[in-house]
Structure 1
């Protein structure tokens, strides 16, 4: 089982790397925003938001369409007739998203720290935990999108409709303090806001438990919903 998972994870990662659109938005787009805000005094506080953006693009934009495509093309159903369980492929997709998120985030962090003198994370362990929980939460939401979308194109659309409000109102693309009060209040209810907060707390060295609990709770809830709603064909 572990060998199959590893092989499928490598395959999924290669497929993600060949998707130029996903690759651009997970790596180049956050770096472009970083460069545009280079002169800002609070640029160091923006970097954790860009990490959250990388993860959101993978979990909300890329993952739902990929999983829905596998279902639409009967890939998951065919896997059920082999020794490899279909859930192994879904787990491999999560693994691939995590690796791609690590690579994209590492590049953005390297550019910020080495290229623009941003202070490195003050609490790496808390940052790593926030990263894993944020990635898990976004993938879980992505599976819910794939579960309710009738076909792959619809999953892509649903993912984008959910992703953009998340990153722009949740503090990933722009600081929430810069938003109008009404939008800031709406953003407070979005789960990615907790992800940005947890990542920023880890980066600045002031980790708190509440954002991490929110991330874990949303992950568990969305995983349960996706398990109930997901159809294999």
Structure 2
């Protein structure tokens, strides 16, 4: 437990010292919220921005970090110490979750306190949707890290997966504003389920079906990551 706390704290400090992660996971979504503050249905944007924060951290940032650790032999060195590489992985998840939560609190606070958006109607369901959506993004990120041979490749694949997904899934732009063909494409994306779960939970109408779908994606992604992942 002490090793986990130490590593997760170290990973969190590294994330907060990374200007890119700090901007895109904390500042950028809040900026988008301000830019769209004139919309009559601003409450539709907020859950999507929460999903975008998690996608940026889990699908774009996490694979690059893990690829760097593998490339620099960090994971192999840890395997020879009492600290298991698994501790590093869970520490990275914890750090990503804290960073994502920080971004979510800022976006939610700006929306509710700054622009009068109604607070979440079902906070418990929203918290569950947030955690499940985060784990889903991390599972996808670990699959990318598993198949990418190098850190730069992992970063590139993560960005190529993340950017189209946040637009087609309704994280950056509500899916109601997409053309019919693009909206239909988004139906099959994992992040769409996260946006739906967060939006429904915020509105007070959570769906157990959506939670089950996200859980299934987490299980599948984790199984693939475990089967494909190499420590070096």
> How big is the shift at 1:45?
1.5
Count of residue pairs brought into register by the alignment: 232
Measure the CA separation in 1 of the matches of 2:167 and 2:210.
18
Shift >3 Å, 4+ stretches: none
Give the alignment of 1:151-230 within 5 angstroms: 151-230=150-229
Q: Does 1:34 align with 2:33?
A: yes
> With structure 2 as the length reference, what TM-score do the two structures score?
0.99
> In the alignment, which residue of structure 2 is the partner of 1:50?
49
- Provide the rounded CA distance (Å) in 2 between the counterparts of 1:163 and 1:108: 20
Query: What does residue 69 of structure 2 align with?
Result: 70
Deviation digits for residues 1-56 of structure 1, max 9, x if unmatched? Answer: x1111110000000000000111001111111111111111101110000001111
Q: Distance in 2 between matches of 1:213 and 1:41?
A: 32
Q: Corresponding residue for 2:14? A: 15
Structure 1 position 206, deviation (Å): 0.5
TM-score, normalised with respect to structure 1: 0.99
Instruction: List gaps (5 residues or longer) in structure 2.
Output: none
* Structure 1, unpaired ranges of 5+: none
Match in the other structure for 2:84: 85
Measure the CA separation in 2 of the matches of 1:180 and 1:118.
27
Tell me the distance in 2 between the aligned counterparts of 1:207 and 1:131.
Answer: 12
